Structure 1
Amino acid sequence: MSSARRVDVHQHLIPPAYREVMDRHGATAGGWPTPAWDARSAIAMMDRRSIATGVLSISSPGTHFGDDTEARAVARGANEYAAELAKDRPDRFGFFAALPLPDVDGALAEAAYALDELRADGVVLMSNVRGRYLGDKEYEALWAELDARGAVVFVHPDAPPMPMLEGMPAPLLDFPFDTTRTAVHMTLNGVMSRHTRMKVILSHAGGFLPYAAWRFTVGARFNPGTTPEGVLADLRRFYFDTALSATPSALPSLLAFAAPGHILYGSDFPFAPEEYGALIDSMLDGYEGFEPGQSDAIDRGSAEVLFPRLASA
């Protein structure tokens, strides 16, 4: 492998209490079976795949199952569980705090607690919550707070508000679409232009955003106050992880589009079968089109800029 010091910004945890809530609600990650997970198996996987530190996050469907009070409790429990892992092994784990959107007041309170008290490395947001995408004006107070803090925001896809295609669980087909949709929604609604201190990471190489970014700039015709040049500049403000996306067709498009230093390593463990993740790793390691220093930046260097505490790890 190219490095024994990778920082994995797309790695999930499934606390026992969170699994119980998912099971009680009959919830899945877009029809994908919930895998087994524990911290020991996560560290063993990281050792096999040259990952020094995994920044953990709750995956789809997030923490809100219809009730604000329950969602606040679910988010708090998951965040305190993750904080204990990071406190015990800060060299191996960090975490993005889960927030109980669409409850904005609850999300603001949890962000403050997680970032100030639990020392979270950032926050994780689902790409949509019951069809409400992240550029929604109702979320502006949260974006303003995260920007004021210069927070790192990890956007993870969720199933869009439409039926799944038979035989294709949402993570295989719909998740890349939903990541792209929410990123464009944020951009055209001015989230990225108004809030330039925060850093927003898109999962899975941004869906198909790098491939179709120039097409999306035509949206400026229908959104007063925007220009094609401004839309493109704001789309390039996003960061991207390589989870399941360092393939011979996807990686060149990502490298051609992303701003320097805006590509980060991701594994998507444990939802991605490890044999498939290892295959993607081999494609990343074997890619011959990197500019000097680009591979090391993806493995670790760019993450050290976003998470300075890891620079000395």
Structure 2
Amino acid sequence: MRIDTHQHVVPPRYADWMRDKGIRPGGIDLPAWSESSALKFMDGHGIRTGILSLSTPGVYFGDVTEARSWAREINEYCADVVTRRPDRFGFFATLTLPDVEGALAEAAYALDELHADGIVLLANNDGRYLGDPTFAPLLDFLHRRSVAVFVHPGELPAPEVPGIPTFTADFLLDTTRTAISLILSGSMDRYADIKFILAHAGGFVPYIAYRILLTMLNAKNKVQQLWALVDQKHQVPKHLAVLRQFYYDIALSASPAALPSLLEVADPDHITYGSDFPFAPAAAVGFINKQYENYKLSPALRTAIDRGNSETLFPRLKV
């Protein structure tokens, strides 16, 4: 029975707020959600526990007071769901970025009072990615608390392409941008105790791992090391070790095309199961699950992805 680290919640009042604003997250209509519908979905897809998170666009729309109020309401709503069914649900707490002061206060409240399983952060917040120095106080707090941080994409700070929903490709680029931002800013070194979980198999990160390597070398003015990499292939894994610090969920990404890249880059202990329900309807999840179940993995790795790796991240869910 799987632990789903990428399952969303859409509280009724929040849904009304989004509809009043005319927001279609990812370019699609906001899906309906209820505790009972989530349980029905989970029972039909071999999921024991879903760790709930708010998806894009989060709660910040330029009004700090409004964002703080909504973050508190959503976190308390999620905590109530978990209190009723702690075996079936967990939650990542919503914060108020780019409002760092509010984010720090809400993170402390959610972790200490509501016993959140972790934190969800959007990949970009008002156009700023997570390696931005203004977010350093929050990252330092999360590092000192060794928090699991689920990184979910948002809308790119760029115009949409007519006719192409933003979830199709923009979301993947947004996650990729923030991963590179965390690497190049040195945040992965300074805040190494944060357990970052990248949505959707890390976006394009596995596929462009060597481009990221070249960017890292270029940023350090070490392009001359390229010849050494050619002659000493063992140096490549050393330089790419930072990518193995990330965790990656397989939500909507467990395909025969995507899995080989992910398995080449990710630490086997750092891959978790994800569904993306309810933004991904049950039929879509079933289709992707079938690809995943038919892919040749060792029994030990499949067990680790389905449950074991998440049990290590979230010990309270261990059975």
Asked if Structure 1 and Structure 2 have the same fold, meaning a TM-score greater than 0.5 normalized by the shorter chain, the answer is yes
Cα offset, 1:292, TM superposition: 4.2
Cα offset, 1:223, TM superposition: 2.4
Query: Could you say which residue in structure 1 is the equivalent of 2:275?
Result: 267
**SS of equivalent residue, structure 2 residue 268:** coil
Query: Could you say which residue in structure 1 is the equivalent of 2:97?
Result: 101
In 2: Cα distance, 1:155 partner to 1:239 partner? 10
Moved more, 190-199 or 299-308: 190-199
Query: Could you say which residue in structure 1 is the equivalent of 2:300?
Result: 293
In structure 1, stretches of 5+ residues that fail to align are none
In 1: Cα distance, 2:251 partner to 2:126 partner? 25
1:207 maps onto 2:240 in alignment: no
In 2: Cα distance, 1:193 partner to 1:212 partner? 21
Partner deviation per Cα, 1:143-162 (whole Å, 9 max, x = no partner): 00000000000000001011
Partner deviation per Cα, 1:208-235 (whole Å, 9 max, x = no partner): 1011112111112442498987752222
Query: Could you say which residue in structure 2 is the equivalent of 1:40?
Result: 36
CA contact (8 A) 1:58 1:98 kept: yes
**SS of equivalent residue, structure 2 residue 137:** helix
In 2: Cα distance, 1:44 partner to 1:247 partner? 24
CA contact (8 A) 1:28 1:60 kept: no
Counterpart amino acid of residue 247 in structure 2: Y
**SS of equivalent residue, structure 1 residue 123:** strand
Selected match of 2:189 from 193, 205, 210? 193
Partner deviation per Cα, 1:100-122 (whole Å, 9 max, x = no partner): 00000000000000000000000
CA contact (8 A) 1:184 1:235 kept: no
Query: Could you say which residue in structure 2 is the equivalent of 1:57?
Result: 53
**SS of equivalent residue, structure 1 residue 267:** coil
Q: Which has the larger Rg?
A: 2
Query: Could you say which residue in structure 2 is the equivalent of 1:180?
Result: 176
Give the number of aligned pairs: 307
Partner deviation per Cα, 1:53-100 (whole Å, 9 max, x = no partner): 000000011111111100001110000000000011000000000000
Structure 2 counterparts to residues 110-149 of structure 1, below 5 A: 110-149=106-145
**SS of equivalent residue, structure 1 residue 261:** helix
1:308 maps onto 2:308 in alignment: no
Moved more, 16-25 or 69-78: 16-25
CA contact (8 A) 1:217 1:229 kept: no
- Check 1:141–1:39 CA distance in 2 against 1; reply closer, same or farther (3 A cut): same
Identity of aligned residues (%): 52
CA-atom RMSD in angstroms: 1.5
Selected match of 1:249 from 254, 257, 280? 257
Cα offset, 1:252, TM superposition: 1.2
In 1: Cα distance, 2:127 partner to 2:213 partner? 23
Scaled by the length of structure 2, what TM-score is found? 0.93
**SS of equivalent residue, structure 2 residue 318:** helix
Selected match of 1:152 from 148, 151, 157? 148
**SS of equivalent residue, structure 2 residue 255:** coil
Cα offset, 1:291, TM superposition: 3.1
In 2: Cα distance, 1:304 partner to 1:221 partner? 35
Scaled by the length of structure 1, what TM-score is found? 0.95
In structure 2, stretches of 5+ residues that fail to align are 226-235
Partner deviation per Cα, 1:155-204 (whole Å, 9 max, x = no partner): 00001011122221111110011101110111110111111111000000
Greater than 4 Å deviation, 4+ residue runs: 225-231
In 1: Cα distance, 2:43 partner to 2:121 partner? 28
